[in-house]
Each structure stands twice: as C-alpha cells, then as structure tokens.
Chains A and B, each alone.
Chain A
Amino acid sequence: MSEEKTMVEGFESPVNLKYTFAAGDATAKFLREIQKGRIVGKRSSVTGYVSVPPRGACPISGTVMVEEVVLPETGTVMSFTIVHIPIPNAPVKPPFIVANIVLDGADQTFIHLVSECDNDKLQIGERVKAVWKDKSEWGLSLENIKYFVPTGEGAIDIAALKAKRLEETEKYRHA
C-alpha cells in the first residue's frame, strides 16, 4: 500500500435543475407568426417606435406595446462582427458574421447571421434581405430565417436612416 496520500483540493459538484420558460404574450405571438413566415413587430403607442422581435414592454416608456406591424424581410446592417471562435452548442462554424440588423420600418435591431458574402467586404449600412430555410424546417423561431444576405444595393448612411425614422415616427409622439 502506498504511503503517499493526496490531499483533496477540489471536486466536481454537479448542479441539475429543470426549468420551464414562459415566452410572454408578445414573444409568443411573434413566434407563432414567424412559424408562418411572417415577421410581425409591435409599435409603441407612446414613442411610435417599432420593435421586432417585440418584448412586450416599450423600454422607453414602460408601457405595453399593442399595435402589430407586419414588416418586410429587407433591412440594414447597423453593426456587425466576424466571429472566429465557436459559440458553445451552436451549429454555425466560424468565421461567421453576426450582425445587428434593423428591418425596414422598424426602429430596434436584432441579432442574426449574414452570409453569402465576402466577410471582409461587408460594411456598416449594408442593405440586406432574409434567406429562409425550407418551409418544412420552419418552427417557432427566428432561425426560420437561415441568414441575411446583401441585396447588392451596397451600404447606406445609417445616421440618415436614423434621422429619417425619427421623422417618420414623430407623428405618434404628438398624437
């Protein structure tokens, strides 16, 4: 029998907890629509801004967002990064582009992938459109959109886009 004793310096203590999650009304509605291939956001009655995916509350005013707005599948890249290290448990392989996209008619970005382009050529302000998965693969997820691709129009001035949206939504703020 060995005379050497090893001190226990550490041990693994697994934690196992089961959770259910509630989407909340706004997210549930959005997911049911996207399952049908429709992108539906919500407009805040106080600020006039449109968010997609809607989060139930308008974060600026803390009020419930009610009005639904159907949105097109085209938009603008407000910012992006090229990811070189894999996301744990995600299927997409690096290097890939993750972008903050604002759809036409919306005022809030969401994260999605941009593909079918030269990573080094993508610009802030790039005009993009959605490429959907095959209908048979659609579920309750924004991942029904496989990724976005540049439309070919090139990049627009995002400061001008913001100014234009502020102007377009002005009427709601003085209703």
Chain B
Amino acid sequence: MRDIAIISYAQTPQVRDAGAQNDIEMVMDVAHQAMGDVGFTIDDIDFICSGSCDYLGGAAFAFVNAVDGLGLVPPKKESHVEMDAAFALYEAWLKMQAGECDTALIYGFGKSSHSEMRFIPTLQLDPYYYTPLWPDSISLAALQARAVLDSGKYTEADFAQVVANSRKNAKNNPNAQLEGDVSVADVLAEEMLVAPLRRSDCCPISDGASAVVMVTREVAEKLIAEGKITGAAYISGIDHRIDAHGLGVRDLTTSESTRIAAEKAGVHKGKVDIAELYAPFSHQELIVRDALGLTKDTQINLSGGTLAGHVFMAHGLDRLGEVAKRIIAGEASRGVAHASSGPCLQQNLVAVLEA
C-alpha cells in the first residue's frame, strides 16, 4: 500500500449567505490557495476530483461550472461524485493506490443559502414510500434523537453539552459561523424546534468551499526537502460503509457503519489525539463518538464541528482538512476524521491520519 498524505487544506469562511459570490469564485479561491500553499499550480496536479450536489445549485450539471475555476486547458484527468467531497478524496486515494497518479486536488462546495436545506435531503429518501410524505431533515434527526433519549443512554443535557463544547471550540476557528460562550442551561432554556431538538442542537446552514492537496510520500518528502512544506498528515487507514436505508430496519441509536469503518481504518491501533466528526445534530456526535470508540482522551471537534458550520458537500472534506492541518502544525500526532451522508447517519467514512 502506498503512503498517501494530505499536505494542504484551504477553506472559505463558513457563512449563512455568501451573497453574490458564486460557486466558481469560491472554488477558485480555495483551489488556488491549497495548491499555492505547497508551491503547486494545476500543472502539478495529476488528478482532480470534486464533490457537490446539483440540487444546491438548482440546475442539472451545476457541478460543471466549477471546472472553469481550475484552468483545465489542456484537459486533465478529472472526476466527480454527487456526494460529499470526502468521498471524492476516497476516489482519488484509490487511484493513487493503483499508481495512476501521485498528486491530487480535491474540492467540495455548496451554497445551501440558495434553497431549502430543510427539505432537500427529503429527496434522498425512498421515492415511492418515504419522499411523498415529505419528512424533512430536522424531523428525521429528531426521530433519532428521541430514540436516543428513550434508550436512556443520553439526556437532553448531554445534547446541550455538545452544543456548548462546539461554541467554545469555535471561538478559536476564524472560519466558524457560530461561536460563543453558551452554557448547557442556555441551550435547555430554548424552545423546542422539532422536539426533542432545539435550534442550537441543529447545525447552521452554510455557504462555502474547501480544497485539499493530497500526494504520495515520495512527493511529500521531496517538498519538505525543498522547504515548500513543513509536514504532512499521512492517511494510515480509510474506509467507508453504508447502513440500510429504511429507518425502521436499523437501530438509530448506534452507527454500525461507523463502527465497521472505524475498525477497518484501524482507529484503535493507536492513541487518538483529536477527532473531527460530521454530526449535523448534537445527539449524532454522541452516537458517532461511541461508534468510533473514542475515550475522554480524545479532543473532539476542536474546529467547532458541524454545529459551528456546515457546508453541505464540503463538510466531510473539512473534517479531514481540520485533522490534517493540526497534525501538520504539530498540535497532534494522530487523529480521526469522520464524514457522514444520508438520513440519520446512514453512510459513514472514517479516516485515520498520522504525522
């Protein structure tokens, strides 16, 4: 197996509404920054892969326009998944394992502000039985939160603690959308949005884009020797799994796919200093944390996590970027990045990164 590392990560500030700035403009910013930070231009990139969702743009083929911001003339090897960019990174990782490329640029983007984020995920459901009932994304998450409360594993106060931690950690993240000093009591005092979830238990709606440059060990070591980079975050394990679609078919209080992916990625082969988890709702951070088998020794969501900002389609890549950048900065030596997709954590990706 080839050693593959993330060597740079760029992210636009996560904002409720990026205004007139469009997808191409956001992608250009992060793609050029991620490449520029390591002394690369598009000519140094063997393979480009992105993740985005046409429904955010409101047009079929919305992803095609973003390609304009890269400079794909002459033409290059390029691909796309209609999934979070974390899965685009996985596609690139496989290609690198097959020896087809040594460097890759991965990016994800989305302007959730343009449409109805509450209802777009409803279209992910079984189109014959579920979607026509139009259960929205918050209500489905609330169903899961209720199941968690009923199981006795956690309380509303536990959910509120996740919120408080997020807001506090986000104060150190200049790209976070929501941050501040919020107490458990503050959260519990809020009215229910969709019981048992309060507004603060739900991630915000965010616009943004992110990019990552990934290279082989040979390339990383050469760049270090040339003084172009100071470090790299190596992917020592990466895996993703999907659970059954039917909400009544699986135990919503656990995440079996996360557990399997964590095992295959080798999470427990060493100490986990930091972890960035994709949990759009507070109770989900607890479910994922348990499925990953993380202990109190792991610092979770130092970036503020999903409750601090959620760029749909880039957020999974952001988890990988946030862990990688801390490892590169020497703030951690081993971390776990988690990405999720689908209703109630149906699909999950786990990556282990090491210095």
- Are chains A and B touching in the complex at the 8 Å CB cutoff? yes
On whether A24 and B21 interact (CB within 8 A), knowing A57-B28, A60-B71, A62-B31, the answer reads yes
A62 adjacent to B114 (CB under 8 Å) = no
Binds B, one of A12-20, A123-131, A136-144, A154-162: A12-20
Whether A63 contacts B20 in the complex (CB less than 8 A), given A18-B116, A24-B25, comes out as: no
Whether A17 lies near B71 (C-beta < 8 A) is no
Residue B79 lies at the interface, judged by CB distance under 8 Å to chain A: no
Interface centre among A17, A23, A60 (most CB of B within 10 A): A17
B45-68 residues at the A interface, CB under 8 angstroms? 55, 58, 65, 67-68
How does the 8 Å CB contact mask read for B260-290 relative to A, with 1 for contact and 0 for none? 0000000000000000000000000000000
Q: In the complex, are the beta carbons of A59 and B19 less than 8 A apart?
A: no
Q: Which of B20, B42, B68, B119 contacts A22 (CB 8 A)?
A: B20
Contact of A59 among B22, B25, B71, B127 (CB under 8 A): B71
Using a CB-CB cutoff of 8 Å, which residues 52-88 of chain A contact chain B? 55-64
Query: Does A153 belong to the interface (CB within 8 Å)?
Result: no
Contacts of A63 in B (CB 8 A): 28, 71
Tell me if B192 is interfacial: C-beta within 8 Å of chain A.
no
Task: Report if A25-B68 is in contact (Cβ < 8 Å); known contacts: A18-B115, A62-B42.
Answer: no
Q: How many A-B residue pairs have CB under 8 A?
A: 75
Which residues of the partner chain B approach A62 to less than 8 Å between Cβ atoms? 28, 31-32, 42, 68-72
Asked if B22 contacts A24 (CB within 8 A), the reply is: yes
A25:B20 contact, CB within 8 angstroms: yes
Count B-side interface residues using an 8 Å CB cutoff: 32
By the criterion CB–CB under 8 Å, are B31 and A22 in contact? no
Most buried by B among A11, A20, A27: A20
Cα A169 to Cα B67 with chains together (Å): 24
**Residue on B nearest A18 in the bound complex, by CB:** B116
| A13-B119 in contact (CB<8A) | no
Which one of A15, A19, A23, A27 contacts B123 once the chains associate, using CB atoms below 8 Å? A15
- Min Cβ gap B8→A in Å is 17
Report chain A residues within 8 Å CB of B132: 11, 13
Give A contacts to B, CB under 8 Å.
Answer: 11, 13, 15, 17-25, 27-28, 55-64
10 contacts across the A-B interface (CB closer than 8 A): A17-B58, A20-B114, A21-B114, A22-B114, A25-B21, A55-B68, A59-B68, A62-B31, A62-B69, A64-B28
